[in-house]
Structure 1
Amino acid sequence: MTKQALTPELQARAAKIKLAIFDVDGVLTDGKLYFLVDGSEFKTFNTLDGHGIKLLIQSGVRTAIITGRKTPVVERRAQNLGIQHLYQGREDKLVVLDELLGELGLDYAEVAYLGDDLPDLPVIRRVGLGMAVASADPFVREHAFAVTQAKGGEGAAREFCELIMQAQGSLEAAQAAYL
């Protein structure tokens, strides 16, 4: 994955992260919605993103998904990756964030969020490291602290995970384990 340059401020923010939260459509997927004739839905996910999330979890960072849509596909993906907290069908993501922080005893500065559209913006602006994917709405990109080089569903989540791990000094060891 392409590494984003760690400016001193980006390094400082990412070093504090204890919880990484992901939106789904447009972040873990390309944002397209696929419906079959029977009304069921399917999504495509990037395996590089998935392994990045697994590495982030192994490094000790907790993970969550907050999404406005509800589908069994996302529940299965979260389970497969070991994502600890899943919130589906929740339009007001800031309310969910506050519930989760209360449960975990964390504060906003310890949270990173990766989103792509207007419903993500209140959380992006509130957390310590609010980021948008390269394919995000331009208004969201403008108000995010940083923007990935990769598009949603095309490695943006992996880039986000590796950025956090790089800032926390765990990326090289995680990669070296495969040598």
Structure 2
Amino acid sequence: MTTDVTNPDLMQRAKAIKLAIFDVDGVLTDGKLYFLVDGSEFKTFNTLDGHGIKMLINSGVRTAIISGRKTPVVERRAQNLGIQHLYQGREDKLVVLDELLGELGLDYAQVAYLGDDLPDLPVIRRVGLGMAVASADAFVRQHAHGVTRARGGEGAAREFCELIMHAQGTLDAAQAAYL
């Protein structure tokens, strides 16, 4: 874990989290878009991030993806990881957030969001724990509650998950299961 767990504000915010939401491009990936000659798209994902998301789910935190782009590879990744809520092709992420909170009966303080660019900023500023990846736009980093040390697609999501689990006292047990 590399996120600053000595930051009392981050720890307090992370304690209340019941839902963690991830952007895709630039967060779960390195932000590059790869297109094949036939027009199909592929993305690369980090296995460390994936395992962090699985541990977070196993600790009892719900998960979601909200992405402005729509691609079958993201649907497949979400299914593989057990991410419960997937919203693709949705430009206004705040509208999606409100729909999801209504469905789950949660409030903003119980939500964490990890993003990287301006379309993520309204959600980052609204939720209880709004974070940016190290490679995020500078303006987004400036307005987030915290910034991961890892770049998007390079372990940032794992850091984010472990921060929440550390604050909630579930990380040690999750890691100890592998000893």
* Band of TM-score, shorter chain: over 0.9
Tell whether 2:36 aligns with 1:57: no
Matched, 1:70 2:57: no
The 3-state SS of whatever aligns with 2:51 is: helix
* Aligned-partner SS, 2:64: strand
Asked if structure 1 preserves the Cα contact closer than 8 Å seen for 2:5 and 2:11, the reply is no
Q: CA RMSD in A?
A: 0.6
- Which residue of the partner structure matches residue 119 of structure 1? 119
Counterpart Cα distance in 2 of 1:91 and 1:150 = 25
In the alignment, residue 47 of structure 2 is paired with which amino acid? T
1:6 is displaced (CA, Å) by 3.0
Q: Distance in 2 between matches of 1:6 and 1:128?
A: 18
* Correspondence for 2:47: 47
Q: Is the 8 A contact 1:6 1:167 kept in 2?
A: no
Segments of structure 1 that go 5 or more residues without pairing to the other structure are: none
What's the offset of the Cα at 1:10? 1.1
Q: TM-score, normalised by structure 1?
A: 0.99
Off by >3 Å, runs of 4+ in structure 1: none
Q: Is the 8 A contact 1:19 1:64 kept in 2?
A: yes
Q: Secondary structure at the match of 2:102?
A: helix
* Structure 2 SS opposite 1:28: coil
Q: CA deviation at 1:3?
A: 4.0
The letter of the residue matching 2:162 is: E
Matches within 5 A, 1:1-179: 1-179=1-179
Unpaired stretches in structure 2, ≥5 consecutive residues = none
* Identical amino acids, percent of aligned pairs: 87
Q: After superposition, what is the alpha-carbon deviation per residue over 1:74-123, rounded to whole angstroms, capped at 9, x for unaligned?
A: 00000000000000000000000000000000000000000000000000
SS class of match (2:106): coil
